[in-house]
Structure 1
Amino acid sequence: MDFLRQWIGIILILAGLARAGIVVLHDPMLGYANQYDMHRTSACIGLFPASEAAAQAGTPEAPIPVYKLGSRTDGCYQSAEVGIAATAVAIARATGASTERFKLQWVGYVKLALLFGVAFAIAWLLRDHPGASAIHGLVVLFILADPVVTLWMNTLYTEFATIWSLYLVIASACVLALYDRQSFFAWALLFIGLVVLAMSREQFALLGPALVLAAWPWLWHSSRQLTVAALVVTLVAAFAALYVLPRPVLVTKTNRTDTYLHLLVPASSSATRGLATLGLPDTCEPLVGASWSRQRGESVEKTCPQVFALSSFSFLRMASDEPAALARAAARTLPSVQGVAPTYLGVMGGQRGKPIDDLPWWAFSPLRALDAALPASVFVALTLVTFALAPAGLIALLVLRRYRGDPLTPLLLAMLLGGAAIYAFLTTIFGDGMNEAARHYMPGALATYVALLLAIGGLGTLAMRWKETPKEAMLELGAGIAVIALAAYGCWLAMAWIGAQPGGDGGLDQPAGRQVSASGFQLRGWAVEPSGVESVKVRLGTLERAVRIGEASPVRGMLRVESTHAGYPDAAKAGFALELSREDLAQAGAPNPLTMRVLVQGKNGAVTEIDRRNLEFVGAPAPAPVPAPAPAS
């Protein structure tokens, strides 16, 4: 029993290594396919698919296993992933491997070594704390070694560096909280994690300073000088990530369009007010609700280039003028962040259209299965509870502060997990909008599942501790019940308010632009709503028509809707269609230009506008000119 108690953490990590190694080393290669984002890493080091056809195009159906090293190109997105890939290239050159037939799995080998090198280092630091070591081993085995995470290894996406560095920061901070003596090794791991986290992706540049501030009381107790140094280092790294490292202009344009035009301005009480608050001209009004990928026949660059001049912090203008708009935007986005794995990407080399759900039994992902099985309301509730961990941990810390002999590490862990989830959600909304919201929020979703795992695994440990110290147990139990009750009540109020807000999402696949035939045309698109879709209506001039719900959108688009909105009711049949005849158009006011609006009503009664465009009719005689008024006699 003593042997198992001492080595359980290492045993769990070894099991996790075996589980992850099966995925990373498998032939044919397993990894998320390139939807195009990997090319931004490729451009920095000149590492592109060996196939000429795939070298400059997205290949979302299946990953490409063989790359070749060439010249750098435009579009480079500097990140920690570039450093990892460059390390793999350097090792390949040093060992004499051919860079003309560079296996993408070699990058995966480096990532596998990084993940489990850190895991064993943390386990060694926790050697005097078998309970903490066991919990750490459970996280490695069931979360970090899950295919949801390990499928990012054989890729050039930025996700692995974010997950790895966040794990490193939280784990090393908890080690420092547990230690009565100073550990320079743990501090070194913390500094490395903070720098890599800032460089992992622009979205997470400021997460490091936030985590250092959250852990300040624990870090300060370990070393005042190193705590200050950690804050300075992470602030410098954040500044470099935000303002020094070059970013592709296209990424900035996409983010600003999706955040401000697609999400925040429609959340305002009126489009005019939203545009004015952000300092955008009235000429941007036709693009309100449009995204970069769906510009509705308009051109953001021609009609509303001013949106590109907004900073990633311009949403703060709404915080003072119309804070309710930010709350409505958050409520609309919250259900869309469900989806811990991008199931619209193939994952097996040489087999097109094989997503994570179709992997063999030995690569089964319980994490993905749990995430897919959760109804949207349950996922939202778990997410809100995770958010509440940060303030709840702070309150508990203030109440229990007199127990200075107890490191209170579980409170630190709760605050860091909750803080990471809050940060990931806020930066998803105000940095990228609803475009691939689930993918951008993935670190927050993983924090939720880590918290759930720790809550289950920690109940026994907590009960044993209370049995040994019954007096302290009474205060801790009372404080815990009070905090949980307040958090539960707050979550209930938040869910009730969120459930009443307009949260619809969707778009038109057909027509693609503004010009349509005056003899009639067909509309095809998709619509989802967290409460369920009650109806979808099209308003064209003076005409209003209800569409047929349950129709299929184009195949590729429909598969993506199902995967990115899996938690929404009826996401599998979210398509709609409507035919408008010549007579319908004449009744609406054609051939004069008309404004068309597509509105989705949820079963909660709330209405969301998912498309608006000013239609122009072709193939019809021009409307008769309006006669000039007769001069007054």
Structure 2
Amino acid sequence: MTRPSRLLLSLVIFALAVGLLRALTLVSHTPLLAIANSFDQARYTGCFELFPDRPPPIRPDENSPNAPFEFYRFLENPVRLCYGSSELLLQGTTAAVYGVQELAGVERHSVRWIGYLRLALLTALVAAFCRAWWRRGKPAGAVANAALFALVLTDPADTMYFNTFYAEATALFAAYALFNLVLLYHGQERTRRGVLLLGAGALLLATSKIQHLLLPTVLALVVLAFGRRHTGRWPWQGYALLGGAVLGALFQFAQLSRGDLMMQSIRSYNRAHVIFTGLLPAVRDPAATLVRLGMPARCAEHTGKAAWQMPGMPEDVCPGIEKLGRVRILFEFVREPMAAVRYLGNGLAALNPWLPRNLGHVEGEILGKLPARFVSLNGVLDRVPPLRYALFALPLVAAALAWRRRPVSAFAPSETSSAGDPLLLLGAMTSALIVATLGITLAGDGIADVAKQGHLIFNASLAWVVIAAIALAGRLGSQPQREMLTA
């Protein structure tokens, strides 16, 4: 191993160690540090009848936004809850551990089990990708993954979800693996293993959360278009992604069409959020808009309110809302185009902070916040909006350049120029993730919870900056060697 190689390997090991220590410190902290339950967790833990350990008068599935709970019990809930998700793979493993504990007489189970499982899985994933890039003869890829682990993936805005039963961590892991796989197989010949891995990654991402049901499909279309543009052929990687994506989307649409009480409630709340937090704040005359939609004008008093802030179920408060579909709402934006512009602007403004401030972070405290000693990029992004918007815009610039057939600069990697610059492919995929995630969130749930539903947007944007910086530095460093070899 050459001296530069030893130096790069040392950087990889150091970054992995920093990230692991950073995450372990938060996951093992006492009192528990995590995101409090906004009810979303119950739709997953309900599959196992697993709920927070609270006094009997409190319904097992009742939300607890003030603070997270460390201990859970197997309890019978009055209403059966279960939303299928790839998140259930880790939760099922955790529930199995709890089952073994039950046999030993333990009835209260720590949420830290799944926290440590998530950390172990993420560390193994990152280490595996570092090794894969290194073996492929691209140490910059290994350095980029290790740096991403230390700077982004173990940021408290991510690891605060580890000791929870939310699906955000699963979505993050699936997206991280999927993007890596696309870049690893970029410009490579088709293999059965590659097809299976890409398809599985797309399936896991599509089934992680409702908001991501179409995301892998969008990513597959970007990969197909990029390959077609640069090689004149439809790349097999895009078809592999599309296969898993379609299966995942069909699974999600089948769930959304269920008629049980939980799904009825989700549809009711989502519809109300689109109308009251999205449409009405954007139009000139909310009362007149409601009348056109067949609802009482008096409902305009709820403009800007989330469904849980209304004095009852949306259908009871504002009769007629249950008949409205997304297409009918879309016509209101056709009638008033500037309302669509304002809606998008409101959505972008609501895409903050990365770490939810409307939910408690510390066990035993009322809306307690993450201690200051746990440094997070969330702070600077929250305080400096221009920096946040620039972060989201940078991948869009790369996406605009991604469709040029000729290399953008002399530093583009010559060995993959025929298939297109992988860095620009990453930019195009990141931009697609930003647009698709924000678009699906606004269309499906208004702006009631954009920041939390847009969790992947922050991660993808930050990852793009880290990876682009390291890739460009590596290319700049290799350019003098290229010139010497060709002189």
TMscore range, shorter length: 0.7 to 0.9
The aligned counterpart of 1:89 is 95
Q: Report the CA distance shift for 1:306/1:387 in structure 2 as closer, same or farther (over 3 A).
A: farther
Q: Report the CA distance shift for 1:225/1:190 in structure 2 as closer, same or farther (over 3 A).
A: closer
Contact preservation (8 Å) 1:284, 1:303: no
Contact preservation (8 Å) 2:202, 2:216: yes
Partner-residue secondary structure (3-state), 1:68: strand
- Post-superposition Cα deviations, 1:69-117, rounded to whole Å, max 9, x if no partner, equal 2335434333222332112112343575656222111111222222122
The aligned counterpart of 1:232 is 243
Partner-residue secondary structure (3-state), 2:107: helix
Q: CA deviation at 1:350?
A: 3.7
**Which structure would you say has the larger RCO, counting Cα contacts within 8 Å and 6 or more residues apart?**
2
- Post-superposition Cα deviations, 1:160-191, rounded to whole Å, max 9, x if no partner, equal 112111111111111111x6454554544322
- Post-superposition Cα deviations, 1:172-229, rounded to whole Å, max 9, x if no partner, equal 111111x645455454432222112111111110001001111226778899556424
Q: CA deviation at 1:396?
A: 3.5
The aligned counterpart of 1:242 is 253
Match of 2:126 among 100, 119, 128: 119
- Measure the CA separation in 1 of the matches of 2:23 and 2:303: 42
The aligned counterpart of 2:353 is 339
Larger CA Rg, structure 1 vs 2: 1
- Post-superposition Cα deviations, 1:139-177, rounded to whole Å, max 9, x if no partner, equal 111100111101101101121112111111111111111
- Measure the CA separation in 2 of the matches of 1:236 and 1:457: 35
**Within 5 Å, which residues of 2 pair with 1:187-198?**
187-198=195-206
Partner-residue secondary structure (3-state), 2:185: helix
Contact preservation (8 Å) 1:89, 1:99: no
The aligned counterpart of 2:55 is 52
**Within 5 Å, which residues of 2 pair with 1:141-180?**
141-177=150-186, 180=188
Q: How many residues are matched?
A: 462
- Measure the CA separation in 1 of the matches of 2:73 and 2:317: 41
Question: What is the letter of the counterpart of residue 348 of structure 1?
Answer: V
Which runs of no fewer than 5 residues in structure 2 stay unpaired?
A: none
Q: Report the CA distance shift for 1:297/1:130 in structure 2 as closer, same or farther (over 3 A).
A: closer
Partner-residue secondary structure (3-state), 2:7: helix
The aligned counterpart of 2:446 is 433
- Measure the CA separation in 1 of the matches of 2:100 and 2:194: 31
- Post-superposition Cα deviations, 1:5-42, rounded to whole Å, max 9, x if no partner, equal 24543442343223222222334332212233222222
**Within 5 Å, which residues of 2 pair with 1:191-230?**
191-216=199-224, 227-230=238-241
- The structure in which a higher percent of residues are helix is 2
The aligned counterpart of 1:450 is 463
Answering whether residue 17 of structure 2 is matched by residue 17 of structure 1, we say no
Q: Report the CA distance shift for 1:187/1:144 in structure 2 as closer, same or farther (over 3 A).
A: farther
- Measure the CA separation in 1 of the matches of 2:363 and 2:193: 39
Question: What is the letter of the counterpart of residue 338 of structure 1?
Answer: N
The aligned counterpart of 2:40 is 37
Q: Report the CA distance shift for 1:323/1:468 in structure 2 as closer, same or farther (over 3 A).
A: farther
- The structure in which a higher percent of residues are strand is 1
Match of 1:280 among 293, 299, 308: 293
Contact preservation (8 Å) 2:115, 2:164: yes
The aligned counterpart of 1:586 is none
Contact preservation (8 Å) 2:333, 2:340: yes
Match of 1:71 among 67, 73, 76: 76
Q: CA deviation at 1:387?
A: 4.0
- Measure the CA separation in 2 of the matches of 1:74 and 1:262: 29
- Stretch deviating more after TM superposition (298-307 or 31-40): 298-307
Question: What is the letter of the counterpart of residue 195 of structure 1?
Answer: L
- Measure the CA separation in 2 of the matches of 1:51 and 1:465: 60
- Measure the CA separation in 2 of the matches of 1:144 and 1:101: 30
Q: CA deviation at 1:377?
A: 3.7
The aligned counterpart of 1:366 is 376
- Measure the CA separation in 1 of the matches of 2:144 and 2:235: 28
- Measure the CA separation in 2 of the matches of 1:187 and 1:30: 39
Contact preservation (8 Å) 1:10, 1:120: no
- Measure the CA separation in 2 of the matches of 1:244 and 1:108: 27
Q: What is the root-mean-square deviation of aligned Cα atoms in Å?
A: 3.2
